[in-house]
Structure 1
Amino acid sequence: MMGHQATRRELFVMISLDEYVPEDHLLRAVDRYLDLSEFRLCLADSYSHTGRPSIDPELLARMLIIGYCYGIRSERRLCEEVGMNLAYRWFCRLGLRDKVPDHSSFSKNRHGRFRDHDAFRQLFDSVLRRCMAEGLVQGEGFATDASMIKADVQRQRSRSGDTDIDWGDPAQASRPVREYLAALEQANPVSPPKRISLTDPSATWTAAAGPAIFAYSTNYLIDLKVGVIVDVEASAVTKTAEVEATKTMINRVEEKYAMKPRRLVGDTNYGVAAMLGWLVDEKGIAPHVPVWDKSEHHDGTFSRTDFTFDAANNRYVCPAGKYLKPAQRSQQKNPFRYRASLYDCQVCQLKPRCCPNMIIRKIDRSPHEPARDVARAIGKTPAYRESRRERKKVEMLFAHLKRILKLRQLRLRGPSGAHDEFLLAATVQNLRRMAKNLIPTRRNENLVMS
């Protein structure tokens, strides 16, 4: 017999939100490892001791974590979802009758007290310390990489980089423009970019991933044990900026947590001579990085690797047994250029294979060549092959960032906006990493004990 649902209107209903949130829900696991007490203390100075109570900053932080955890990019939609979803209300400590904050509160707090106190950096650090306390960070090996995130600008609102742009009164300009003008005053003169956005001048015009767009780079430094993010930094979409961001992150982690890895894993972008010299000579870190080297020849002529460097006598030995020494006349222009003797090259039978289009053979040696040799030697070891496999963990984090958290395009503008968004996304990824790696283990332990 077909059933019929009878609608009964109950005047009073006693329910508990805790009963409607499953035990294996993601937010339960995240809530177990989330401690916002330090977040409140960080913002205490920005609130008055008198007057009407404001919205709890912990509530705003929990709502933002939900938004980044489930890829809810719109703050207006986030407020609607928190109002309707029982699990979201439970995580935010809201009852059924409690009012959800208005979406405008996020903008005022994000661009105001949250940014003035760098609250999201403090939140990221507190979650990272919890990861370290749970044993998810080993500190033996780090991996680094960068990924491009599209800026919240339109291509039509841009000008050529060599055009004189009148930004008007800086006091009346938008926040991204003020940040750009302040950075120009502090930075050394650089070549103008190809194009500059009038909406977000700090965004980089790049065609690295297809049609040219304005974008920022998010730089990750991760621990290789389980892939916990130990630091994150926003930068321009250039190789130089990304390398400098990695240096900043390594120094910051060492300063904050007294933790320095024995090896750093990265792609060819981090294999430039200056970076390798900094890792080996200054930091004592083994570079598990491919060397950026354009000295190899593929036309049948001798490459630089065919020449042996005699460090004791500061000279190169060619395949014919002759010497390439530093040229006295070129010492001021290029002190690391080595030249063969004209008399040796002219009568050498190997000249067609050595320098067929030059009178003599010349070799430029980088001042960081010993560090490059260290990286080349590491590249031939089984440990290097294992590091190349482990580097996929940082690539997986970027895929998770764009596909699951849906951070393909920024909503906030300017370097500070990119800084806040990247920090929040990395914080959520670390929280999810703890939930994934610790909750199943403890469940198994409880099953064994019972």
Structure 2
Amino acid sequence: MMGERTGVQEALFYGFSLEQHVPDNHLLRSIDRLMDFSGIREHLRPFYSLMGYPSIDPELLIRMLLIGYCMGIRSERRLCEEVHLNLAYRWFCQLGLDGTVPDHSTFSKNRHGRFRESNLLREVFEMTVRRCIETGLVGGEGFAVDASLIRADANRQRAAPGDEGLPPDAAGRAVKEYLAVLDDAAFGASTPVVPKRLSPTDPAARYSAATPNQAFFSYSTNYLIDLRHAVIVDVEVTTSVRQAEVTAQRRMIERVQQTFGLWPERLAADGAYGDAANLAWLVEDKGIEPHIPVFDKSARNDGTFARSDFTFDHENDFYTCPGGLQLRTSNRNFTRPRSLVDKDGFIRYRARVKDCSGCEFRQRCTPNIPARKIMRSVHEGARDMARDIAQTDAYVTSRRQRKKVEMLFAHLKRILKLDRLRLRGPNGARDEFLLAATVQNLRKMAKLMPVSSFQRTT
């Protein structure tokens, strides 16, 4: 006989437990075991008044933000609705069945206030890195670095020519942040090139055509990862310019050394980080092996001899050409000593005109000028070291492992849905990148560490 419900009769008492309705293998249960929020209140205590009404618990806001970035919920208004309805979200936020969900405007007020003043999101991110180090997921021997463009919340149709500057009526928080970073090497001071277009709503975003698609305004998220399990050990936001990304790499390495005491033996990166000055900084200042392709434009495609066809004598400081003749920094003595290094950090080696004029290889070496010249960087020693490393098996392994950074960027955009920023300005981009990197580390730990390895924190 078919059953039929005659009506829903509400019980006087309910025996309901959220704890029993969240599966043991749920992602949020694993993350709850991994995180320890006990230090958040102490970190924020100096930024709250001792008088007045109690504020919303900052731990609750952080837990809700982690849910949003972990589950790809980009809207904070929708996040509040989902936390109100979803039992697992309520359990993770420790709200119970009747707990009140904060209004979405609370996030904006705290983000622009106490969270940024106290650098709380950086503290939460570093908390995950410390946990990864404690659990043995970070080796510390090899790092990799890379950057990826993330679309900014700026309309390219409303942009103005970059050489005209901001319009007189441009105002807002993003404009103030843009003016504050004009002298920052990771933003305005990264390059003297004037951007082609400027957004009045988010002027710090860079107009970029680095992808095959239509040009767009963007920021760059820079990841420094440990190669053992692809744990993100640091993240930095910059404008989308190569020089700014190199600056971010240096800042991240120094910050990781100071904060966690991690001193990597090698660094893997692509050719964008292979300029002479950066290679010298890694080798001479930090003692790090650069597993990086050398940024070199000395190759020729017209059939003439390239710089690699000349042999350098380190002891006597001269080049020897294929014809057996010497190229020196100076072929005569000067009464007043002159600097051999130009403003770009290069030393010029010249052959004698009479040597080149009678050389049998002249047409293959210097057909258009009287004597051959070769430019050598003052950091050529570091470049030579990088070239030597590129011939080893360890370099091949590092090149393969470097793809882990690109996989993290793909996860960031496809799974966490962070392919376009929701917040404006450098600070807004920094907040989003820090939260996303925090969640990626948490998901990594939840995947690699068994549940039995953790004791639940409350």
Structures share fold, TM-score greater than 0.5: yes
1:196 Cα deviation (Å)? 0.9
Whichever residue aligns with residue 446 of structure 2, its letter is A
Which residue of the partner structure matches residue 240 of structure 1?
Answer: 243
SS at match of 2:156: coil
CA distance in 2, matches of 1:106, 1:226: 32
Corresponding residue SS for 2:253: helix
Q: Which amino acid aligns with 2:320?
A: V
Contact preservation (8 Å) 2:167, 2:200: no
Contact conserved, 2:166 with 2:198, CA < 8 A, in 1?
no
Matches within 5 A, 1:257-272: 257-272=260-275
CA–CA separation in structure 1 for the residues paired with 2:56 and 2:29: 23
Query: SS where residue 218 of structure 1 aligns?
Result: strand
Q: Secondary structure at the match of 2:202?
A: coil
Distance (Å, rounded) in 2 between the aligned partners of 1:182 and 1:351: 55
- Tell me which of 382, 386, 405 is aligned to 2:416: 405
Q: Report Cα offsets for 1:257-294 as digits up to 9, x if no partner.
A: 22110000000001111110111111110000011111
- The residue aligned with 2:388 is 377
- In structure 1, what is the equivalent of residue 73 of structure 2? 72
Once the two structures are overlaid, the 10-residue window that deviates more, 251-260 or 157-166, is 157-166
- The CA deviation string for residues 393-444 of structure 1, in whole angstroms up to 9 with x for no partner, is 111100000000000011111101111110000000001111011026859x
3-state secondary structure, aligned to 1:326:
coil
Q: Which residue of 1 aligns with 2:26?
A: 25
The CA distance in 2 between the partners of 1:254 and 1:234, in whole Å, is 19
Report what 2:209 is aligned to.
207
Write the distance in 2 (CA, Å) between the matches of 1:55 and 1:366. Answer: 58
CA distance in 2, matches of 1:149, 1:185: 22
Contact persistence 1:38–1:126 (CA under 8 A): no
Counterpart-to-counterpart distance in 2, 1:415 and 1:218: 11
> Structure 2: which amino acid aligns with 1:70?
M
Aligned to 1:347: 358
Name the CA distance, whole Å, in 1 between partners of 2:396 and 2:5: 64
Structure 2 residues without counterparts, runs of 5 or longer: none
User: Which residue of structure 2 lines up, in the alignment, with residue 392 of structure 1?
Assistant: 403
Aligned counterpart, 2:8: 8
Aligned to 1:99: 100
Amino acid across the alignment from 1:85: N
Secondary structure of the residue aligned to 1:8 is: coil
Deviation at 1:3, TM superposition (A): 4.3
Q: Matches of 1:332 and 1:419 in 2, distance apart?
A: 42
1:326 aligned residue (287, 306, 329): 329
* Residues 340, 347 of structure 2: 8 Å contact kept: no
Task: State the one-letter code of the partner of 1:237.
Answer: S
**1:304-360 deviations in Å (ceiling 9; x for gaps):** 111100111110001111001113688567460111111111111112221222222
Give, as a single letter, the amino acid of the residue that structure 1 aligns with 2:422. Answer: R
- Cα distance change, pair 307–185 in 1 and its aligned pair in 2 (3 A): closer
Does structure 1 residue 365 correspond to structure 2 residue 376? yes
Query: Displacement, 1:300?
Result: 2.5
What is the CA deviation profile of residues 118-177 of structure 1, one whole-angstrom value per residue up to 9, with x for unaligned ones? Answer: 1000111111111111111111000000000000111133211111534459xxx31111
1:437 equivalent among 425, 448, 455: 448
Residues in 2 aligned to 1:396 and 1:41: alpha-carbon distance in whole angstroms: 36
Q: Which runs of 5+ in 1 are unaligned?
A: 444-450
1:269–1:292 Cα contact (<8 Å) kept: yes
Alpha-carbon shift at residue 243 of structure 1 (Å): 0.3
> How do 1:43-82 and structure 2 match up within 5 A?
43-82=44-83
Letter in 1 for 2:410: A
Aligned to 1:421: 432
**Is this contact kept in 2: 1:254–1:260, CA < 8 A?**
yes
User: SS where residue 259 of structure 2 aligns?
Assistant: helix
For 1:306 and 1:39, how far apart are their aligned partners in 2? Answer: 60
TM-score normalised by structure 1 residue count:
0.94
Residue of structure 1 aligned with 2:257, choices 230, 243, 254? 254
Contact 2:173 2:425 (C-alpha < 8 Å) held by counterparts: yes
CA RMSD of aligned residues (A): 1.9
Q: Could you give the per-residue CA deviations for residues 214-248 of structure 1, whole angstroms, max 9, x where no partner exists?
A: 10000000001101100000000000000000000
Question: Aligned residue pairs: how many?
Answer: 440
* Separation (CA, whole Å) in 2 of partners of 1:161 and 1:216: 17
The one-letter amino acid paired with 1:432 is R
Q: Is the 8 A contact 2:341 2:347 kept in 1?
A: no
Q: CA deviation at 1:38?
A: 1.6
Contact in 1 for aligned 2:329/2:340 (Cα 8 Å): no
Aligned to 2:308: 305
Q: Distance in 1 between matches of 2:452 and 2:398?
A: 26
Aligned sequence identity (%): 57
Structure-2 change in CA distance of 1:167 and 1:61 (3 Å): farther
